[in-house]
Amino acid sequence: MTKRPGAGSGMNAPLQQMKADLFKAMGNPMRIQVLELLCERERSVGEMLVELGVGASALSQQLGVLRGTGLVLARREASAVYYSVTSPRIADLLAVGRQLRADLLSLQVEMLTDLQAEDGADSALRLEVAADQSPAPRTGPRDE
């Protein structure tokens, strides 16, 4: 395996930390829901509260994390605050995440199917072995 230049040397540590922070910010189901809503269109906090069915403090906390990592922007209009995603690539990343999850689930289903087939073959073999090892039925008169 060829080592990339700078890999493991700490040269990319700040970039790797930024990536880790990005994925960490996206590692919460409510934040994913917020991002999915905002990828559709800009929304007010009030709209998101209704659509998500969560409390204002919980939503505010999650929006703060997303703002802090630069995934969303806020703008005030009169007394309402509106949020939007900072890049259309966020929708792409969420779509890739969904596809990756589907691919991984398909792989797990294949593996489970293979295991079940092996178990079925093992069970059939055990039945054959057990049948071969069982005593032959008596055919003569019984002693009582």
Task: Looking at the structure, tell me whether residues 41 and 26 fall in a common domain.
Answer: yes
Task: For residue 55, give the CATH number of its domain.
Answer: 1.10.10.10
Task: Looking at the structure, tell me whether residues 71 and 115 fall in a common domain.
Answer: no
Task: Looking at the structure, tell me whether residues 71 and 100 fall in a common domain.
Answer: no
For the stretch 38-56, pLDDT in tens is: 999 999 999 999 999 999 9
pTM of the model: 0.69
Total number of domains constituting the chain: 2
Helix (H) or strand (E) holding 142: none
Task: Looking at the structure, tell me whether residues 67 and 97 fall in a common domain.
Answer: no
Burial state string for 30-58 with b = 16 or more CB within 10 A and e = fewer than 16: ebebbbebbbeeebeeeebbeebebeeee
Task: Looking at the structure, tell me whether residues 56 and 109 fall in a common domain.
Answer: no
For the stretch 50-86, pLDDT in tens is: 999 999 999 999 999 999 999 999 999 999 999 999 9
